[in-house]
Amino acid sequence: MPLKDLLAEADVISLHCPLMKDTYHIIDEESISQMKKGVYIVNTSRGGLIDAGALIDGLLSKKIAGVGLDVYEEEEGIFYEDCSNKIIRDENLARLTTFPNVILTSHMGFFTKEAMHSIAQVTLENATAVEKGEELANEVK
């Protein structure tokens, strides 16, 4: 289905794509304008897929009914940190936390029992392969 048609018809848009030149801010002012009113957006992929300013405008206009974000474009230094005694200097992030229809989690969508088991298993397999001098099946060169 062409993206334009998907945007116009979808009740829920869930992002599951890598962040690349072609997907950077795939959700922006233009794409939001093509969405049906009352759409829900979920992003557990990469923060840079969504233009936060455009997202806020979409929430304010009620074009977007709700948002679930496990990632945020400018999350470095915020997620995985105890910021309870700090002022959030990112205006978009601060604003997003004020919406009752926005759920924001700290990049933990992968944090399931199954995912942790898989990560541990692959790590041990890699360590064993290195110890035996074998080729690594998932080596990045």
Residue 83 — very low, low, confident or very high, per pLDDT cuts 50/70/90? low
Residue 40 CB burial class (10 angstroms; 0-12, 13-18, ≥19): middle
Among left, alpha and beta (phi > 0; psi -120 to 50; other), residue 25 is left
pLDDT tens digits for range 22-33: 999 999 999 999
Catalytic residue list: 46, 75, 107
Least confident of 30-34, 56-60, 65-69, 118-122: 118-122
pTM: 0.75
pLDDT tens digits for range 33-48: 999 999 999 999 899 9
- The Cα angle at residue 69 between residues 56 and 74, in degrees rounded to 5: 75
Q: What whole-number distance in Å separates Cα of residue 82 and Cα of residue 54?
A: 28
